[in-house]
Structure 1
Amino acid sequence: MNPVSSRTERTRSPRGRRSWLVCLLAMMLSTVAPSLAQTQSQPQHLVQNQDGRPLSLDQAVALALDSDEQIQQMVETLAGARADVLAAGAGRLPQVALNGAWTRNLKKPAFFLPPEFAAAFGGASSVEAGRDWDLKAAASVTLNLWTAGRLSHARALAEQGVEAVRRQQALARDAVRFRVTRAYWDLLLAGERVRIAEQALALAQEGRRVAEAAHAEGHASRFELLRADVELTNRQAPLVQARNQQRLKELALLRLCGLEPGTNLLLTSELKAAPAPEAEDVLLERMHRDSPELRALEHKVKAAELATDLARAGSGPVVQLQGTYAVQGQWDDDLFPGGDETAGSLNAALGVSWPLFDGLATKAATQKREADLRVARLEYTRAVRDRELGVRQARTNLENARLALEGRREGVELATEAHRLAVIRKENGLATPLELLDAELALTMARVQLAEALHDANIAAASLELAVGGSEEK
């Protein structure tokens, strides 16, 4: 090659390269501008696929509350607890019983007589007792007049069990509500990551095309082309991972909502900035008042107190009123007795039963119930302290998430300005296409971080509500 010609090419190459790259830049920007405009026009919420079953967050929560197996189990447990109340109150009502027997004596029993009495019965040594048919029937009524507190304590104990189950059911509903909220926001974030990964791959593909064209014209080095190839390869795996993660998050939400795994969802709720938390004292007061866990443990403590009183009542007397009407008869030959072959009796009794000494069984049962009561009180104290700590931690996490969100918004503004300047620099020939690509990717990462910060802030707000408890009390 002529050295003069080579020097001439090197001298003219910067200007020719500049004008040629400006043309390529215009083509590149015309390709990616629509997607960038869409992204910049919606910075605060996540874009979803428009095909699928519309599902808002409230609808997802309602579906989960209707289909959750644990809540359904709690419904049945509540029905069983209410049945225990009926059983405990049964002792206050009269107990009525009927019993009877209609007997055919195929071979009658016999009484054996001493020899000295045999002559009186014609020399027989045994005499048959009864007749061919025998009837015995009785109706009895028993009414507890006083049980030393056994019945009242047993019923109150059962009622406390019902209230405890109701609070546990509310606690389970709060937990389901939080799980669905977290799954919903997780899926929304996963969809945004897929969209951003697709955009990043499109930018990498366009950068690869521009670098290849520039290299073919001698305006880009092989290093720049190799870098574009590496960037394109590195953008493919994250897109596949993002799509797989989106599918896993969708399956998790479908499971919680009780929907078929093949259902396609269109999430209609949007991630918004979480509101500032209330003052700590207000949150703690609401937690002490509305927390289903604490209310359930309070009923558990009351139940333990009643169980202790019930055990002590075992040493007291029981007074009952009893009445019985009985009919008996015996006859031969016919299937039914005659009018003078039956007789009736009626009696009433006032019974008292007092266990003066039961081998220390009542004392042992009382000591066991007193130990259970101490355990219940300690459990309540532990739960209160854990709840207070959980509320304080959740509130702090929400404040941190809100501060991080503000930082991410500023990061997006900074990346947007850097991208704008990179475009201007490239239009004036002061930056390479790969430098512009770096600015595009930095803006993409800033938007990913903003979406994650929005997600984290909303999860922190839901965690605070779970820690306070009593969502259904509002």
Structure 2
Amino acid sequence: MNAFVIAAALAATPAPTPATTPAPPIDAAPVTPPPPVSSGAPISLAQVRSEGRQNVSAIQALLDVAIANEDVKLSRSALLPQISLDSSAGKIWFGRRQEFITVPDPANPGQFIRNAVETPTTSTQNYDLGMSLTQVIYDRARWKQLEQSGVVRDAQKDQAREEADTSELEAIRRFFTLFRTQATLGVLKATVERSEQQVERAQALFQAGRTGRNEEITAQVNLGTDRINYTSTLGQLVADQTQLAVWLARPGTEALSAEDPGVLTTEPPPAPSINEALASARVNRPLLKALGLRIRAAELQQSIARSEYLPRLIAQGLYNRGGPDATLVFTEPRLQNRFSAAVGLSWDVFTGLSTPASTRRAEADTRKAQLNLEQAAREIEGEVRAAHRRLEAQLEAARLAAQNVEAAALGLNVQDTRFKAGAGSTLDVRDAQLSLTRAELALLENRIDVEIARYTLLRAMGALSPGESK
């Protein structure tokens, strides 16, 4: 029988109900069966992967994408027509003042003189209604800013996919950690059941006079130890349930039960070749795409800085109505109208050497972005290589663990047969039981580690959720 099938069958075997319960030995404390595993809300691996991509960190990255998208709209708005409407109503008060007016000189015809005139306090009303239209005709810096904001938005999208992959991988790891604990409880429960059967055999042989009482007592002690191990693992189950629920943004009090993904009953597929893994990472890893776009954004910043050397052309139109009477300004469209239009050229000939400084700074930022990409590429290659080797090692370890389970099961069967025949001892059976339990737990541990290593490699390759990268 395949060792993976053996492990799954042992984990799912229900506790047998003995026909009769033999009386415990003299001076031996009665034992109780292990507490049952509390059932929780079932959750599948597919659900975990989907909800994992909606983790709080992933949602925050998506909000950064939304912010970047609005930045694109802000950059575009500077190139669209700017229309403003203004209206005002006010009053001006003039106190007493002296003014000089020019009048003809009555004593000298043809000549003029200036007379001082004192005017009383006066006031006048002022009403104004106007509209202005401004349109950028040519401004290289604004066009490049619009292009740059689009590149930054795309880079943020790739960064969000990188964060979503990270969140999904952590959700997968926590799911398999919970499933491993559940399966471990199954193995420990099967161990308890084997110990219960051993107690029954020891009691039967003692009552038949074929063994001493020490065999029965030893079997009882072994059974108690196995039940302690089982009960202790229940605490780890609750911790694993909590960690998974919290990562999926569920209440920390929600009890989850990992549905069997079928990994214990199937042979794991082989790992892809290292060349395939590296090629996939170079093409599909979102982080590399994001860093490549960061370089483009830095290059556009250079263009923005150099644009200060070029002139800017802006067209402006004004329409205004004004006067001292509100009726004339607001109800007589044929009167008080004034229109103006202009095309303005602005050219910063000298800016105190700020333009070359901005240009050199942008060039340095571009070089830094290039270095970040080169370093990230090297790190990702190392990440892929390490993940690939880890997967290969875990596959080999799982294969060896499966062979150990088959050998341990055979050894336990031999010792059971000898004990039933009166040729063996409880100690021999116990050693065989412990060997089988250790082998089953090792197989379980390695088989789960294979899946975690596989998903870790897929994440390093940028192939964890290919559909999300479109």
User: If the length of structure 2 is used for normalisation, what is the TM-score?
Assistant: 0.82
Say which SS state the counterpart of residue 53 (structure 2) adopts.
helix
- Residue 200 of structure 1: aligned partner: 191
Tell me the SS of whatever aligns to 1:327. Answer: strand
Partner of 1:10: none
CA contact (8 A) 2:314 2:344 kept: yes
Kept in 1: contact 2:199–2:216 (CA 8 A): yes
2:131 counterpart of 1:139:
yes
Distance 1:338 1:51 in 2: 79
- Counterpart of 2:239 in structure 1 is 248
Encode CA deviations 1:263-291: one digit per residue, 9 max, x unaligned.
Answer: 34251422244321111111111111110
Corresponding position of 1:322: 316
1:383 aligns with 2:376: yes
Deviations 1:150-178 (A, max 9, x none): 12210111101111111112112211221
Percent identity reads 22
1:69 is aligned to 2:61:
no
Distance, in Å, in 1 between the alignment partners of 2:126 and 2:284 is 67
CA distance in 2, matches of 1:155, 1:337: 40
Distance 1:434 1:211, change over 3 A: farther
Q: Provide the rounded CA distance (Å) in 1 between the counterparts of 2:193 and 2:339.
A: 99
Q: CA deviation at 1:41?
A: 5.9
2:351 matches 1:358? yes
Cα pair distance change 1:427/1:191, threshold 3 Å: same
CA contact (8 A) 1:273 1:458 kept: no
**What residue in structure 1 maps to residue 411 of structure 2?**
418
Matched with 2:75 is 88
Over residues 114-171 of structure 1, what are the superposed CA-to-partner deviations in whole Å (9 max), with x where a residue is unaligned?
A: 5998x99986334667x53212232221111111x21221011110111111111211
**Residue type matched to 1:57 in 2?**
L
The worse-fitting range, judged by mean Cα deviation, of 390-399 and 241-250 is 241-250
CA distance in 2, matches of 1:41, 1:377: 51
**SS of equivalent to 1:92:** coil
390-399 or 48-57, larger mean C-alpha shift: 48-57
Query: Which 5+ residue runs of structure 2 have no aligned equivalent?
Result: 14-36, 106-112
After superposing the two structures, state which structure 1 stretch, 396-405 or 83-92, moved more. 83-92
**Are the aligned partners of 1:301 and 1:376 in contact in 2 as well (CA < 8 Å)?**
yes
Please give the per-residue CA displacement for 1:390-435, whole angstroms capped at 9, x wherever unaligned.
1111111111001001100110111111112212322333211221
Give the secondary structure class of the aligned counterpart of 1:258. coil
Aligned partner of residue 408 in structure 1, secondary structure: helix
Mapped pair 1:181 → 2:172 = yes
| Mapped contact 1:283–1:391 kept (Cα < 8 A) | yes
2:434 aligns to what SS in structure 1? helix
Matched, 1:408 2:401: yes
The DSSP-based 3-state class of the residue aligned with 1:141 is strand
- The amino acid across from 2:308 in the alignment is G
Distance in 2, matches of 1:353 and 1:259, equals: 58
Q: Give the residue type in structure 2 aligned to 1:166.
A: K
**Larger helix percent:** 1
Q: Distance in 1 between matches of 2:392 and 2:373?
A: 29
Secondary structure class of the residue paired with 2:130: strand
The answer to whether the Cα contact below 8 Å between 1:110 and 1:126 also exists between their aligned partners in 2 is yes
Classify 1:188/1:47 alpha carbon distance in 2 versus 1 (closer, same or farther; 3 Å).
Answer: farther
Q: Does 1:97 align with 2:84?
A: yes
Query: Which residue does the alignment assign to 2:7?
Result: 43
1:288 aligns with 2:252: no
Match of 2:212 among 214, 220, 245: 220
Q: How far 1:202 moved relative to its partner?
A: 4.1
Which of 387, 404, 411 is the equivalent residue of 1:394?
387
CA–CA distance in 1 between the matches of 2:4 and 2:446? 17
Give SS of 1:124's match.
Answer: strand
Equivalent position of 1:374 in the other structure: 367
Q: What is the aligned counterpart of 2:304 among 310, 315, 331?
A: 310
Q: Aligned residue for 1:459?
A: 452
Supply the distance in 2 between the matched residues of 1:463 and 1:410 (Cα, whole angstroms): 26
**Aligned pairs for 1:102-141 within 5 A:** 102-105=89-92, 107-108=93-94, 112-113=98-99, 124-126=117-119, 132-141=124-133
Report if the CA contact (8 A) 2:136-2:314 is conserved: yes
Offset of residue 77 of structure 1: 1.8
Q: Are 1:167 and 2:155 an aligned pair?
A: no
Amino acid at match of 1:294: L
Which residue identity does 1:43 align to in structure 2?
Answer: A
TM-score computed with the length of structure 1 as normaliser:
0.81
Aligned twin of 1:60: 48
C-alpha contact (below 8 Å) 2:129/2:322 kept by paired residues: yes
d(CA) in 2 for partners of 1:431, 1:340 = 117
2:338 is aligned to 345
Q: Cα 1:165–1:41, aligned 2, differ >3 Å: closer, same or farther?
A: closer
Q: How far did residue 443 of structure 1 move?
A: 1.1
**Secondary structure in structure 2 of the residue aligned to 1:471:** coil
Checking the alignment, whether the CA contact within 8 Å between 1:329 and 1:341 is kept in structure 2 is no
**In structure 1, C-alpha distance between the alignment counterparts of 2:333 and 2:75, rounded to whole Å:** 45
Asked if the contact 2:102–2:114 (Cα under 8 Å) also holds between the matched residues in 1, the reply is no
The answer to whether the 8 Å contact 1:55/1:268 transfers is: no
Unaligned runs of 5+ in 1: 1-36
- SS of 1:138's partner is strand
CA distance 1:412–1:91, change in 2 (3 Å) = same
Q: Partners in 2 of 1:274 and 1:128 — Cα distance?
A: 100
- Computed over aligned residues only, the root mean square deviation of the Cα atoms, in angstroms, reads 3.3
**Aligned-partner SS, 2:337:** strand
Deviates more, 1:389-398 or 1:77-86: 77-86
Q: CA deviation at 1:348?
A: 1.6
Hey, what does 1:9 align to over in structure 2?
Answer: none
Residue identity opposite 2:63 in structure 1: E
Alignment partner, residue 29 of structure 1: none
